[in-house]
Amino acid sequence: MDTIVVVGGGAAGVAAAEALRAQGFTGSLTLVCGEPELPYDRPPLSKQVLLGTWEPDRARFRPAAHYIDKGIRLVHGLAHALDLTERAVELADGYQLRYDGLIIATGVRPRVLPAGHDLAGVHVLRGLADVAALRSAFAAAGRIVIVGAGFLGMEVAACARALGLEVTVVDPLPQPMIRQVGPLVGAAVADVHRSQGVVVRTGIGVSGLVGADGVVAGVALADGSVLPASCVLVAIGAVPETEWLAGSGLAVGNGVECDEFLRAASGVYAAGDVASWVSPRYRRRMRVEHRMNATEMGGTAAKNLLAEAAGTDLEPFDPVPYFWSDQYKVKIQVHGELSAEAEVTIEEGTVADGKFVAMFRHDGVPAAVLGWNSAARVIGYRKQLLG
Ligand SMILES: Cc1cc2nc3c(=O)[nH]c(=O)nc-3n(C[C@H](O)[C@H](O)[C@H](O)COP(=O)(O)OP(=O)(O)OC[C@H]3O[C@@H](n4cnc5c(N)ncnc54)[C@H](O)[C@@H]3O)c2cc1C
């Protein structure tokens, strides 16, 4: 294998490129970056960078010299098409990149509301440009309405509150972050935000955005009322960046469909938020939008691409998923997979004390463990998920 192209310069793409070098690949290696800048990390964007405690540059994975040292050629541009037969990626400007091996790591983009997204004052948060726009809006606006109470919406709520804004969060589900942490911990998340002065409106849907003269004026709710707003963050999830693969012949459903080795086709692997794979552990197809998963997938995709070329055994991708969220002084860490229906028990500490470990079980079998300001303790429970 002489030439490898990695498309997508996020956590998964950078991890894949570095792993290829670490595994001894010495051929030509190109990392196609969709953004016109050095690759950067996303979790700090809704935390330190939004708060202003980090300069945006601090979120970059590596300085430019690192990529030169490793022989990783950064090409800035958007992949536009993939030709599996010719083994070529075409960029939007027509530039063609031939490959022997390909890793797809194009991530996701924010989902938007069906109407009103173009109104001035409406924001999403995915990249550095978004965080700069949001910070300017914070400086001008006294209040913000956040549509969507997932971890992103709640992290932004915490930052906006810390910066002195009036904050309302609205979501149709009964508790914030219910899909990620279940109803009991979701209620604790709501309580923390309410104690900080955030208005948490759960259990009510958003019917649209209201604007005047091209500028947002409010968020219309399903009950017919309107929350006035000059700044709105829409944080209602994300969709995989797969349009450029249309017509390529790759199976694309909820993301690029890979087998348990992250292989999408011969010599083609996918990693990170864009990739779904068949999990041996959970015996189903999964797609995970978490930071640690992106790095781990990048590493495994790189290893398996080289193993396929060498004719050696491929390694199944079989992690226990992990994510964290920081809100005010609360650090939430979740290992495993939980659904809102899981039985939950508090194993240590109490919700009232603001320090606890919760175990989630499905039919009595440990499925996930959550630490709330309990980083050291939660690790001890993680091994129960491996049985
Ligand atoms: C604000 C924010 C905060 C987060 N906080 C946490 C957290 O606290 N904990 C946690 O576990 N996870 C968190 N996440 C999730 C985590 O950051 C992601 O799971 C991770 O970044 C995924 O990495 P990725 O490389 O798969 O995708 P991305 O980081 O999205 O990178 C994909 C790259 O591909 C590029 N691209 C897209 N289309 C094309 C194309 N056609 N051609 C070329 N390039 C293209 C994009 O520009 C992007 O640079 C957060 C995410 C966000 C947005």
- pLDDT tens-digit readout, 233-245: 999 999 999 999 9
The 10s digit of each residue's pLDDT in 255-299 is 999 999 999 999 999 999 999 999 999 999 999 999 999 999 999
Q: What is the pLDDT of residue 387?
A: 64
Q: How far is the CA of 10 from the centre of ligand 1 (A)?
A: 6
Handedness of CA 82, 86, 89, 93 (dihedral sign): negative
Task: Please list the alpha-helical segments (H only) found in 63-127.
Answer: 64-70
What backbone phi and psi angles, to 5 degrees, belong to 203? 80, 15
What pLDDT, on a 0 to 100 scale, did the predictor assign at position 7? 99
CA 242/CA 275 separation, integer angstroms: 10
* pTM for this predicted structure: 0.97
Report how far ligand 1's centroid is from the alpha carbon of 87 (Å): 25
Q: Ligand 1 pocket, 152 CB below 6 A?
A: yes
Distance 108 CA to ligand 1 centre (A): 6
The span from the CA of 133 to the CA of 144, in Å, is 13
Residue to substitute in 241, 274, 335 for testing ligand 1 pocket (most ligand atoms within 8 angstroms of CB): 241
Is 80 exceeded by the pLDDT of residue 386?
A: no
Closest to 242 in 3D by CA, of 252, 233, 257, 232 = 252
Ligand 1 atom nearest to CA at 322: 11
272 lines ligand 1 (CB under 6 A): yes
Answer yes or no: is the C-beta of 126 below 6 A from any ligand 1 atom: yes
Q: Whose CA is nearest to atom 29 of ligand 1?
A: 10
Ligand 1 atom closest to the CA of 11, numbered from 1: 25
Ligand 1 mean position, distance from CA 9 (Å): 9
pLDDT digits 0-9 by tens, 165-213: 999 999 999 999 999 999 999 999 999 999 999 999 999 999 999 999 9
Atom 9 (ligand 1) nearest CA: 324
Q: What stretch of H or E contains 161?
A: helix 151-162
**Distance in angstroms (rounded) separating the CA atoms of residues 146 and 264:** 36
| Ligand 1 pocket member 299 (CB < 6 A) | no
List beta partners, residue 74. Answer: 31
Residue 289 CB–ligand 1 contact under 6 Å: yes
Q: Indicate the burial class of 6 (C-beta count within 10 angstroms; 0-12, 13-18, 19 or more).
A: buried
Nearest CA to ligand 1 atom 27: 107
CB 290 less than 6 A from any atom of ligand 1 = yes
Per-residue confidence (pLDDT) for residue 119, from 0 to 100: 97
Q: Rounding to the nearest 10 degrees, give the CA dihedral for residues 228, 230, 235, 238.
A: 120
| Cα–Cα dist 293/301, whole Å | 12
pLDDT in tens, 67-121: 999 999 999 999 999 999 999 999 999 999 999 999 999 999 999 998 899 999 9
Assess whether the C-beta atom of 240 lies below 6 angstroms from ligand 1. no
